[in-house]
Amino acid sequence: MKRTIAIVIGFALLAATGFVILTSPEMVRAGLEPIPAGQPDLANGRTMFYAGGCASCHATPDQDDKTRPGGGLALHSPFGTFYAPNISPHPRDSIGGWTLEQFLRAMRGGVSPEGRHYYPAFPYTSYQRMASADVRDLFAFIRTLPAVEGRVRGHDLPFPFSIRRGLGLWKLAFLDGRMFQPDSAKSASWNRGAYLTEGPGHCAECHSPRNALGVIPAERRFSGGPNPERKGWVPNITPDATGIKGWTRSDVVEVLTSGLTPFGDSVGSNMASVVRNMAQIPEADRAAIAEYLLSLPPQVGRKGPQ
């Protein structure tokens, strides 16, 4: 009997030690890459800011200036309510005192300067694909924006999602840390579109279904899914009959510029904000995204609850 108890305690200790080791942010290697030399390109940083949709979540709500990223927006997800933090260059309340190394680690590894995991509501699962030079330029651009005072309240999440440490296991399983790899068989504009869509644009994060672990099944990527804020359904953006089959490249560019679809509809919900951002990037970039989306393998999308 004593021996049984000892074995049980032994296993429990082993499991606890394993949990501590495996969930450590040190286990995540993404975002520890060397910083590229050279002066940051602010124009490119601005493109990354808008392609990345930073303002959609981080702009201070209830005011029109989308370049005041003071945070505070509530995201009502199925895992609980997240409050987008302040990402303005305020030295005390935000990222004003950060180094570029810390910013890169946050963007690509989802680890804070204090060594804590960020929740993947911050889409580093896509941002990990970004080139380090683009992250550097983005950081420089954000530092030109107004510093907004005030820290944002903590997230409101039920157990077990309230245990940040648990994210370590999730990251080990699902955060591969690979940067975007261009396909040399494809055109430069296709590769640009693939990069913008899969990396900064993080389109798949909303336009895909997720399994019980919150992971997007690769074979159903971009086929549409439930709105992450539980507000209806996000459409299929693959060229299937249930998606964007029959759309021309200029149709896709148009919807990303004005929000108008070829059927005279105007996109709404969270996409309205995405359109405002996408309208700010060069037209060639929108055309590249269109080229990539129209090249995706068609996936049958599922309809949402009627």
Partner 1 sequence: MIRMIFTGAALAVGIATVMAQGDPIAERRNIMKGNGAATRTGSQMAKGEAPFDLAKAKAIFQTYEKAAQRMPTLFPENSKTGGETTAAPKIWEDMSKFKVAFAKFEKDAKEAEAATKDLDTFKAAFANVTKNCGACHETYRIKKS
Q: Residues in the site for partner 1, rule: CB under 8 A?
A: 227, 231-233, 235, 250, 254, 258-260, 262-270, 272-273, 275, 303-306
CB-based burial of residue 11 (10 Å sphere; 0-12 exposed, 13-18 middle, 19+ buried)? exposed
Please count the other Cβ atoms lying within 10 Å of the Cβ belonging to residue 133.
16
**Which one, 227 or 295, has the nearer CB to partner 1?**
227
The least distance separating partner 1 from the CB of residue 118, rounded to whole angstroms, comes to: 26
The least distance separating partner 1 from the CB of residue 201, rounded to whole angstroms, comes to: 18
CA dist 168 and 62 (Å) reads: 34
**Which one, 95 or 234, has the nearer CB to partner 1?**
234
**Which one, 40 or 235, has the nearer CB to partner 1?**
235
Which position has the token pair 């995405």? Answer: 274
Which run of H or of E encompasses 252? helix 249-257
CB 286 within 8 A of CB 253: yes
The least distance separating partner 1 from the CB of residue 148, rounded to whole angstroms, comes to: 23
**Which one, 104 or 275, has the nearer CB to partner 1?**
275
CB 147 within 8 A of CB 1: no
- Name the region of 294 (left: φ>0; alpha: ψ -120 to 50; beta: rest): alpha
The least distance separating partner 1 from the CB of residue 65, rounded to whole angstroms, comes to: 16
CA atoms within 13 A on the CB side of 179: 13
Which position has the token pair 């990402």? Answer: 87
The least distance separating partner 1 from the CB of residue 299, rounded to whole angstroms, comes to: 15
The least distance separating partner 1 from the CB of residue 169, rounded to whole angstroms, comes to: 34
**Which one, 102 or 227, has the nearer CB to partner 1?**
227
CA atoms within 13 A on the CB side of 54: 24
**Which one, 128 or 277, has the nearer CB to partner 1?**
277
CB 137 within 8 A of CB 118: no
